[in-house]
Structure 1
Amino acid sequence: MTEPSKTEANQFNGRVIPSNWDFQNTITDVSGSHQVWYPASQDDVATAIKLSKNQKTFVRSGKQVVGQDEVDGSNGVVINLSELVNVTINGNKVAVEAGATAEDIAKHLIDRSLALPLSDDPLKSIASNVMNESVSYLTRSLGSLTGYISEIKAVKPDGTPITVPISTDQPYAGESWLALRQESRAIITQVTFEAVPAQSLWMQRFSFPYTGYDEFLRLAQGLFLESDVPENCDLVLDLYSGSYLMPIVSITALGVAEEGKSELERLIAAVVSNLPSVAAVIFELPSGHAREILAGSHVLEAIADMGQGAGLDPTIYSERLHRIEAADLNRANFIVEYVNYIHSGVSYRENGEGKLHPDLQISARLQINRENALEVTGYAYTPRLIESTTNTIFAASARIGTPLHEGVPLTLPTRPERIPGFKGDVFQPNDLGYHCRAKVYATTSYPAKNLTPLMVAYPRDAEDIAAAIAFARSKNLHIVARSGGHQYSGKSSGGSKTIVLSMDAFNHLSVSGNIVEVGPAVKLTTLADRFKQEKITIPHGECPMVAIGGHAQTGGYGHLVRNFGLALDYVEAFDIVLADGNLRTVTHPVNGSSPSSDEEKLDREIFWGVLGGNAGSFGIVTSYTFKYIKASDRPNSYGYTALGMYRKSRFQKMMKLVQAWSKDIEAGTLTADFDFMMTVKSTDKIQFFPVLLVEAVYGDIPVVNKDVIEDERLKSIDEAVLFEQSFWEKELLRREYGKRSLPDLSDSFVRRHPATTLDGREFKYPYKKRINCTTNALTDDFIQNFVDMVDKVVMKTEGVKLVFQMLMGGGAYQNTERRQATSISHRNYVFCFVFDLFYRQGFEKAAEELQKQMQNVVDEHFSGNQELRVFWGSFGDTDITKDDIRKMYYDSKEQYARLQQLKQRVDPNDIFHTTLTVQLPG
C-alpha cells in the first residue's frame, strides 16, 4: 500500500474523529473501532474517497439506523456525509446535499408551496431516499421520487467527481441512473429535483383507536380486498403504537386532482360504517378530532409530522419492516398475515396485566403501490436486551454493507489546537457541523444570540476540562457544562462569551457492591434500562434523553419522590473539577459528625452547594457515586396505571382527589409509601384525541389480591378513571395494576420512542413552559380555575398543545435524613405542577396569552404570598440578581448568601456563569 503524501493528506479540509469520540452519531450501524471522516464540502468527499482508497471504507449519509444493517467497520473509515445538509431552491429546482433529511427538505418545500413524494421517515437522508426508495404517502399520486431527479452529483470510487444530467421527461430515468450507480458504486453528494406545485394536493384522514382484531381485519379487507383504489390516488392504512403506547389506526386518502376523491370518500365511509366500534368512536368524538381534511402545503406538513423512523434512543432496537405482496400469493392471505402481526404487537391482556407482548411497539403501514400490489412498510421497536425483535415475515432484509474500499488504517493530520492542551474536538460557529452540535432542547424556543456559544468543546478527560478552564480564564470567558442539554431556559448553552463543554465522553456506568458509578452524560433511558437489568433503582425522572449530570444537581424529581425522595438524596460522592483546574472527590458527610479540618469543612460545603444550589455554579462534575435501592428490599411494591381519553369531568374528579391528598400532606397524615402522578396531553398528528394518564405507586403493600383492587385509595383512583366512560372509552381504556418491582416500574415511567418524538420530546414544536409549587393545600378556587385552564387549551385552542403533569410532596421528599446535606429548596412543598405549552408556527402569541392567564391563576389561587419555582423547570425571567426572581427559587436570603460565600471560595472569577447560576457576593 502506498501512503498518501503529506500534501495529499492536507487537502482534506474536513474533520476526522475516532468513532469512540464521535458523539454526534452515537447510534450507528458500523460496529468496531474506526475513524469517522466528516467532509467539509462536496469536493471534500472526492478528496476523502481518494485518500481512503487503500482502507476499508464505508459511506453513510444520515442517522436512520436499524439493527439488521449492522456491518463490521473495525480499523476502517466511515465517510459521513450527514453534515452536508444545504437545500437550495430556485424556482422549482430543488438542489439537496446528500445529508439533508426528509424533514429538512419538507420544511423548504412547505415554505415554497412545492411538493415531492418524499419518505415520511424524518431522519432519512436524501441520498438514502434516492438509493433505497420506499413507498411514500404520495407514491401513486405523484409517482416515484427518482422520477423528479434532474441532476445528480456523485463521486466514483476512484475519487473522480461526476455530474449526471437526467431528463425528467423520460419515465424512470432516475431509476435507470440508480441501476448505473449500483454498477459503478458512485457516491451521491447532491441531488437536484424538479418539484411540482403543492396547491392541488389534498388529504383526508380518519383516526381512531385500535378496536380489536376482528374489526381491524374487516377494515383492511374492506379497503384493499373488496374495493379498487382509484388510479393516481393513494389509500394508506397505518397502525401506530402511539403516545403512551395506546394503539391508533389511521386511514389516509391522498391525491393531486379531484378525480377519484369522491370515490375514495365513499369507499372509506362505507367501510367504516360497517364497523360498529369504529363508527361509535368517530360519532362520539368532538367535531374535527376523528376526521382531518387538508390541502396544499398542509398535506406535506401533516405527512412530515406523522413521520416515523428509527429513533435516537440508545436503549431501543429499531427493525425495518418491508414486504410486497407476491404475484402468486392470495391477497386475502396477505392481509390476514399483516393483521395477525399487528394484533400480536398491540393487543392487551384482559386481566389488567398489560400488553400481550409488552416489549414490542409498532409503526406499520399497508398500502397499494404503483404496481397495484399491497406493500407493508414500517418499523418495529424493542429494548436492545431482546436479541430478536419480531421474527416475522414482515422484517425487511438487510441492506448489503459492502465496503467501498478495503485495506488498513490511515492517519490524517490533526487540526490545530483551538484550546491549548485540549485533546477533544472543538467547534466554532463557522465550522461545518457546529449548529447541530450547538443545538439544545431550548434552541427553537429562545433567541439564537443566547444559544450560540463561542465554542462547543468535547473534553475527553478531566485534564481537558482543566485546559478549557485555563483558556477561559485567560480570555475572560465563561464555561458552561452540558450533560444532556435539556435545561428548559437554555442555560446549558450560552452566547459569544461562553465555551460549552459537552460532557458526552463521561458516559461510564458501573455497578459494584452496593454502589453505582455514573458519568454525567448517562441518559435516563440508559440508566433505567441498566438498573432494570441489575434489579436496582434510584429515584429519577421520566424524560429519556435527559442526562443524570444536571438532573441530579437540580434534584432528580420523579414518580417515587414521596416513597424515596430525590436522586440527589442517593449521592454518596462525586468528582468535580473546580475553577482552579483541580479534580476533587467530595463525599457525603457522616450524619452527626463534625468536620475535622478546613478541607473537610469545604468538602461538606461543596457537597451541599452542588447538590441543589443551582447546577453548574461551582464546578464541573465528572462522575457520581450513588447508593441504590434493591428490588429485593421492597418485594411488595405495587403499581397502578390507567390510560384513556381526557374528559373535563374525569380530570376534575381526579383533581378533587389530589386536593384531598394535599390537605393530608399539609397536615402530615398522608402515608409516605404512596406516590401519584397524573398527565394530560393534547392531541397530536397520531394521537387524535387528548389523553389522561394516571400512575400510582405503593413502595411496599403487604397483601395483594392479584385480580382485585383492594386498597381504598386505589379504589378511589379507579372510580375516577372510570367516571363517565362511554362503551367505546371503556374498550379504549388501558389499566394495569398489581405487584411490580421498583426497577421495572422506574423503567416503565421513562417515555421512549415511539411514544415520543424521535429525540424524546412530547411535541417537536417550540414551547412556553411553566412549573410552579405550593406549600399550601389546594383550594376549591384553584381546582376550578386550573381545570378550566387545562380544558381550554386541550379542547378549545388551535395551534397550541398542552402537557400537564404533577407531583405531590411530603413523605421521604420532605423528611429524608439527608435533607440537611444538600441545598435543594422547597422541601416543604405540597403540590407541584407542569403546564407546558408547545405551539405551531404562527401561534406563539396564543401560547403567551395562555401562560399570562395561568400566571393569574397562580397569583390569585395558588402561590399564597410567594410564587415558588424550581431549577429543573426554570422559565421566564432568569436573572437571579433580582430579589423577586431569587425568592422564587431559594428558601431564604440566608441560604443564598451561604451559596454565594461558597461561590467566592471555589470560583472567585465567576468562570462558571449564566444569568441563573449563583452570583458572586456584592
Structure 2
Amino acid sequence: MAKKIARPEVKFSGRVISSLVDFQDGSSDVIGPHHVVYPKTASDVATAVTLSQKAKTFVRSGENATKQDSVDGAGGIVINLKEMNGVTVKGGALRAQAAATSEAVTSQLAEHALALPLADNPLKSIASTVLFETPSYLRRSLGPLSSYISSIRAVRPDGKAIKLKDSLQESCLQKCRAMQAVVTDVEFKPTSAKGLWMHRATFPYPGKKVFSQISRQIFQTIKFSTKLERTDVSLDAFSGPYDIPLVRISVLGSTPAGRTSLKKLLGKAVNILPKTFEPDDIAVETLTGPEVLDALSESGLGTPGDAMFESTSLHDSVDATGDTENFLLNHADNVDRDIAFQDETAGRIIQKTRLTTSLRLNPQNGLDLTGYRHTPIANDSTEIRSRATPLHTGDSLQAPVEFTALVRASPIPNFRGEVFSKNDWGFKSRAHQYATSSYSSTRMTPFMLAYPRDDGDIVAAIQFARSQGKHVVARSGGHQYSGKSSGGSDTIVLSLDHFDQLDHLGGSVFRVGPAVRLVNVATRFKNERVTIPHGECPQVAIGGHAQTGGYGHLIRSFGLCTDYVTSFDIILADGSKRTVGRPREDTTTTPENDELFWGVLGGNAGSFGIVTSYEFDCIEDVAHPNSYGFTFRRRYKESAFRKLMKEAQKWTKQIADKTLDPDLDFMMSVGSSRSLFPFPGLVVELVHGNLGGASQVVDGEQAFKPIIRASKHRAGIWNLFATRGKDSLSSLSLSFVRSWPLVTRQGREFVYPYKKRVNCTVSKLSNEFVDEFVQKVSHIVLNESKVKLVFQMSFGGGAFRDSARRDATSIPQRDSVYTFVFDLFYKQGGEQIAESLQSEVQDLIARHFNGSQERRVFWGTFGNTDIKDASVRKMYYDSDSQYRRLQKLKQTVDPDNLFQTSLTVQLPDQRDP
C-alpha cells in the first residue's frame, strides 16, 4: 500500500473575504461577485499569487475610481494590497510598501527634509505610481521618479518572491514590468528637499476670455533656456470647495536658476485679472523646502471618491512645435463649460459637473493636460446603490477550492458575517471611524468588530456578547462625533454596512436601511421627487442620524428627519425583533409600541436596541411646487459676517415673538482656508418651503431681501457665485449635501482631529453675543494657522413648533430658537489652542447665550459628555422627568445594560427616587 504524502501546510497571515461582505472599499473598480485576498506580508502575496494561478485574478494596490478603469471580476480573485501601506525612512533611503499613498510617502519625506517627484494625485499608491509613471508637479524639477528607485521587491507570476536591482542592461523597474511581477514594496534614494521653492497664486475663475489670456501669457511667452530646465510651471483649473470655480498658477523648482524670471511671469499673469478683483481675492504664497511637498500633496487633483459621480480621466498634450494656440483655446472652452457660472441669477452653466485639470510644461517643453471630469451617474436607483457600496445580493459566494483553507471560521457561533478581533490583520483599518484621531485609542478600540449579514447574525452577536460579559454598540456610518459608536475595550461593535437597502414601497413611502449614507438618500429621493429633512455630511448614515433628530436645512419649514419616520424594525437585548409604528390618534397602537417609538427616536442613539430599517413617509415635491432656494458663496469678510449675524439676531427676535413666517429657513456656514481654497469661506443658504402649495405666491427675493443684501456686502467678483430661484425641495436637499472637495473623501471638512461643539438657545441673541462672537470667528479664520474653524447655524420655531408629530418622539430641545455648530480642527501642535478657544466660547455662552443653563444636542459637544453626571444630563434633556421616563423604558427592554456607552440612557440607580 502506497504511503500517503501529506500536503505542506499553506502559511497565510492575511484574510480572504467575499466581496458580498467586504465593506472596506466601496470604490473598487472590480465589479461582480468575487473574493478579495488581503495579504499581510510579501510571503502572503506569494501564497495568493500561487493559489490563484487558475483563477481570473486582479491585483490592486489603491483606488481606481474612474469609469474607464472598471473591470468584470465576477467569479475571480482580487489580491488587494491595501493593508500593505507602511513607509519607513532609514539612512537617507525610503522604503514604501505597495499600497502606501503619495500622501503618506510625502509626509515621511517632509519630516526628513527629503524629496521625490511623486504623483500629483495624493491617493495614488506607490506601486501604481512607479509602474505607470504618473504625472507629477515636480517632473521637470526633479526628473522621473524611476531614476530614484534603488530596488523593487515583487512576486513573479509563478509565485516566487524576488528582489530586483538595476543591471547594465535594464533597470529594476524594466525587469519588473517585463515579467509582470506584483510589486510588494519599493526602495528609493530621495534627494534633499532643502532646495525646493514654489510661488503660486490662487483666485476665482475670471471667465473664459481672461483665463485664455492668462494661459497664453504663461505658456507662450516663456523663453526656454538652460535656466528653466529644473523648473515646473502649471496652470490648474478646478471646481473648488463650495462649488466655487478656481484657478491656480504654480511655478517651482529645485535650484535657484529661473526662480526670479518665473516669479515675474507669475506676477504678469496675475496682473491680467480685471480690476473687479481685490487684493484679498488673490491668494499668493511663497513656499520653500519640505513645505513645498506638503502643499503639493494637500492640493493634488485626485478623484473625489463620491459614489454619486462618475470620474473620467482627462489626457491630452501638444509638443513644443505643435499648435499651442489652438490647444490652449480648446482647453479654455472645456474649462468654461464645466466650471463657469453664467451670471449672478443663472448659476452654473452645467449645474452638476465638476472638473479638476492641470496644464503643465513637460520635460520636452511641450504641454501636458491631465485631470478628471466628474459627472453625476445615471438616474438609476440600482446603480446608485451599487456605486456607494458593494451590492449585497445572494446568500453566499463559495471561495475557490484553492483558497478554502484560508477562509477563517467565525469566533462568534452561528455568525455568518466577517469578524475582526484586536489582533487580526485588518482590524485597525476597519475599526477606524470619524472620531478615531480625536480621542484616545482606549476609547476608540473595541473588543471586537463584526459585520452582521442579517437579523440572525445580530441575534448571534448579542448572545455571544452576553456570554463574554461585553456590551454591544451598533455602528451605522461611524460618524458619531464623540466617538461613542466605537464603544471601548468592553464592547463588540456591530457594523451595519450590510443593512443598506433603499426600497420604494409605493406612493411617498420608502424603506431605508441604517447604513444608507445621506448622499445616497438625497440622490435617490431627488430622482423620485421626494425628500425628508436631513443633514449635509455626505458619509453620515441614516441610522444614528434619525435617532438623534436629523437636523438640516429645512428645520423651520418641515422639522427633523425623525418626524417622517412612520415605523422602524429593532432587535432588542433579548434577541426579539419588533416592528414599531408611529403612535396613532385612534389608539390602534399599543402603549408598549408607543413608548418604544418615543424613546428610540430621540432618547439617545443606541440606548434601547439595534434598528435594522426605517420607513419614511416623504415630502413630495408636487405638494410644494413654488419652493425657492438661494445660495451665495464668497470669501469671508468680517463686515459681511457681522451684517449677516445681525440679520440672524433679528430672526431670533421674530421667532421668540412668533412673528416670523413659518416656512423660511436660513443656514450660514463659515470655514477656515484649506489647501484647495486658500481663503476663509462664507456660504449663505436660504429656503422658502412653500407650505401653502400651488396656491401660495412665493417671492423669495422679497422674503429674504435683507439677508441677500448682507450676503453681497463688498462681495465684488464673488457676486458671480450665487444660485437663486424656484427649485424643487428634493433638488435643494441634494444640493445641501456637501461633496468633495468641500469635504474630504471620508466626508470630513478637514483631516485633522477636532474639538466639536453644538449649542442651542431658547432665547433671542443679544448684542453682546453677536459682537463678541463675530470677533471670535474673525480671529480664528483670519489669524490662526494651526486651528481650522467650521461654524454653522440654523433656526427653530417654524411650522413644526406646534406640530402633533413632535410629541411622538423624545428629541429634546425642540423649542430652540437658534442652534450653532462650532468645530475646531487642529494641526500638530494646535490641540491646546483649540482647547483654549473652545473654553473662550464656553465662557461666551455662559455670559451671553444661555445664561445659567447651557443647552446641547446629542450629536457632538465639546466638554464632558458623561450622562451619569447630573449637570451634564441637564444640558441634553428637557427635564428630569423626561430622563426618568427614558430610564424606565431602558429598564424594561434592556435590564442588563447590554447597549451601553457613557452617553446612552443609563439604568436607574437604586438610590434614585
The TM tier, using the shorter chain, reads over 0.9
Paired AA for residue 504 in structure 1: D
1:859 aligns to what? 846
- Does the CA contact (< 8 Å) of 2:838 and 2:862 recur in 1? no
Calculate the aligned-residue CA RMSD, in Å.
Answer: 2.2
1:475 aligns to what? 468
Is 1:225 the counterpart of 2:220 in the alignment? yes
Distance, in Å, in 2 between the alignment partners of 1:412 and 1:7 is 15
Is 1:665 the counterpart of 2:655 in the alignment? yes
Structural mapping, 1:741-760, within 5 Å: 741-760=728-747
Distance, in Å, in 2 between the alignment partners of 1:110 and 1:846 is 24
1:484 to 461, 477, 480: 477
Is 1:850 the counterpart of 2:834 in the alignment? no
Runs of at least 4 residues off by over 6 Å: 701-704
1:645 aligns to what? 635
Partner of 1:46: helix, strand, or coil?
A: helix
Partner of 2:24: helix, strand, or coil?
A: helix
Could you tell me how far 1:842 is from its partner in structure 2? 1.5
Q: Please give the per-residue CA displacement for 1:347-391, whole angstroms capped at 9, x wherever unaligned.
A: 11226121111121011101112222211111111211279xxxx
Is 1:18 the counterpart of 2:32 in the alignment? no
Deviates more, 1:333-342 or 1:562-571: 333-342
Q: 1:7 to 1:869 in 2, by over 3 A?
A: farther
Is 1:363 the counterpart of 2:356 in the alignment? yes
Is 1:493 the counterpart of 2:489 in the alignment? no
- Does the CA contact (< 8 Å) of 1:771 and 1:874 recur in 2? yes
Distance, in Å, in 1 between the alignment partners of 2:77 and 2:693 is 59
Could you tell me how far 1:275 is from its partner in structure 2? 3.4
Is 1:201 the counterpart of 2:228 in the alignment? no
Q: 1:77 to 1:6 in 2, by over 3 A?
A: farther
2:417 aligns to what? 424
In percent, how many aligned pairs have the same letter?
Answer: 48
- Does the CA contact (< 8 Å) of 2:156 and 2:162 recur in 1? yes
2:330 to 312, 328, 337: 337
1:448 aligns to what? 441
Is 1:693 the counterpart of 2:680 in the alignment? no
2:385 aligns to what? none
Partner of 1:853: helix, strand, or coil?
A: helix
Partner of 1:807: helix, strand, or coil?
A: strand
Is 1:161 the counterpart of 2:161 in the alignment? yes
Partner of 1:871: helix, strand, or coil?
A: coil
Q: 1:744 to 1:670 in 2, by over 3 A?
A: same
Distance, in Å, in 1 between the alignment partners of 2:646 and 2:231 is 50
Paired AA for residue 99 in structure 1: A
1:305 to 298, 301, 316: 298
- Does the CA contact (< 8 Å) of 1:484 and 1:523 recur in 2? yes
Q: 1:351 to 1:833 in 2, by over 3 A?
A: closer
Please give the TM-score of this superposition, normalised by the length of structure 2: 0.93
2:272 to 266, 274, 288: 274
Partner of 2:850: helix, strand, or coil?
A: coil
Please give the TM-score of this superposition, normalised by the length of structure 1: 0.93
Distance, in Å, in 1 between the alignment partners of 2:863 and 2:765 is 24
| Equivalenced residues, count | 881
Structural mapping, 1:185-334, within 5 Å: 185-228=180-223, 230-277=228-275, 281=277, 283-285=279-281, 290-326=283-319, 329-334=322-327
Distance, in Å, in 1 between the alignment partners of 2:251 and 2:194 is 16
Q: 1:328 to 1:9 in 2, by over 3 A?
A: farther
- Does the CA contact (< 8 Å) of 1:76 and 1:409 recur in 2? no
Structural mapping, 1:582-597, within 5 Å: 582-591=576-585, 593=587
- Does the CA contact (< 8 Å) of 1:55 and 1:409 recur in 2? no
Distance, in Å, in 1 between the alignment partners of 2:461 and 2:444 is 19
- Does the CA contact (< 8 Å) of 1:638 and 1:699 recur in 2? yes
2:554 to 539, 551, 560: 560
Is 1:763 the counterpart of 2:750 in the alignment? yes
Could you tell me how far 1:409 is from its partner in structure 2? 7.3
- Does the CA contact (< 8 Å) of 1:40 and 1:84 recur in 2? yes
Q: Please give the per-residue CA displacement for 1:461-482, whole angstroms capped at 9, x wherever unaligned.
A: 1111111111111111111111
Distance, in Å, in 1 between the alignment partners of 2:186 and 2:714 is 55
Structural mapping, 1:822-841, within 5 Å: 822-841=809-828
Q: Please give the per-residue CA displacement for 1:293-328, whole angstroms capped at 9, x wherever unaligned.
A: 111211111112112312232112122222222466
Distance, in Å, in 1 between the alignment partners of 2:774 and 2:20 is 49
- Does the CA contact (< 8 Å) of 2:37 and 2:77 recur in 1? yes
Q: Please give the per-residue CA displacement for 1:161-220, whole angstroms capped at 9, x wherever unaligned.
A: 1110137xx8x96xx444443332111111111112222221211111111111111111
Distance, in Å, in 2 between the alignment partners of 1:185 and 1:437 is 31
Structural mapping, 1:547-626, within 5 Å: 547-591=541-585, 593=587, 600-626=590-616
Q: 1:796 to 1:22 in 2, by over 3 A?
A: same
2:626 to 620, 624, 636: 636
Could you tell me how far 1:703 is from its partner in structure 2? 11
Q: Please give the per-residue CA displacement for 1:522-562, whole angstroms capped at 9, x wherever unaligned.
A: 00011101011111111111100000000000001100111
Partner of 1:827: helix, strand, or coil?
A: coil
Q: 1:335 to 1:709 in 2, by over 3 A?
A: farther
Distance, in Å, in 2 between the alignment partners of 1:586 and 1:275 is 61
Could you tell me how far 1:743 is from its partner in structure 2? 0.6
- Does the CA contact (< 8 Å) of 1:636 and 1:701 recur in 2? no
Distance, in Å, in 2 between the alignment partners of 1:274 and 1:602 is 71
- Does the CA contact (< 8 Å) of 1:75 and 1:409 recur in 2? no
Could you tell me how far 1:835 is from its partner in structure 2? 1.0
- Does the CA contact (< 8 Å) of 1:241 and 1:755 recur in 2? no
Distance, in Å, in 2 between the alignment partners of 1:408 and 1:583 is 36
1:380 aligns to what? 373
Distance, in Å, in 1 between the alignment partners of 2:819 and 2:837 is 19
Paired AA for residue 217 in structure 1: S
Distance, in Å, in 2 between the alignment partners of 1:539 and 1:867 is 26
Distance, in Å, in 2 between the alignment partners of 1:77 and 1:284 is 53
1:791 to 768, 774, 778: 778
Could you tell me how far 1:594 is from its partner in structure 2? 6.9
Q: Please give the per-residue CA displacement for 1:450-503, whole angstroms capped at 9, x wherever unaligned.
A: 101111111111111111111111111111111111111111113211111111
Ranges in structure 1 where 5+ consecutive residues have no aligned partner: 388-406
- Does the CA contact (< 8 Å) of 2:482 and 2:859 recur in 1? no
Q: Please give the per-residue CA displacement for 1:78-113, whole angstroms capped at 9, x wherever unaligned.
A: 111111112122111111111111122122222222
Distance, in Å, in 2 between the alignment partners of 1:347 and 1:239 is 11
- Does the CA contact (< 8 Å) of 1:9 and 1:51 recur in 2? no
Partner of 2:504: helix, strand, or coil?
A: strand
Distance, in Å, in 1 between the alignment partners of 2:272 and 2:493 is 59
Distance, in Å, in 1 between the alignment partners of 2:487 and 2:316 is 48
Paired AA for residue 276 in structure 1: P
Ranges in structure 2 where 5+ consecutive residues have no aligned partner: 381-398
Could you tell me how far 1:711 is from its partner in structure 2? 4.4
Q: Please give the per-residue CA displacement for 1:35-82, whole angstroms capped at 9, x wherever unaligned.
A: 111112111111111111111111111123211111111111111111
1:463 to 456, 460, 469: 456
2:111 aligns to what? 111
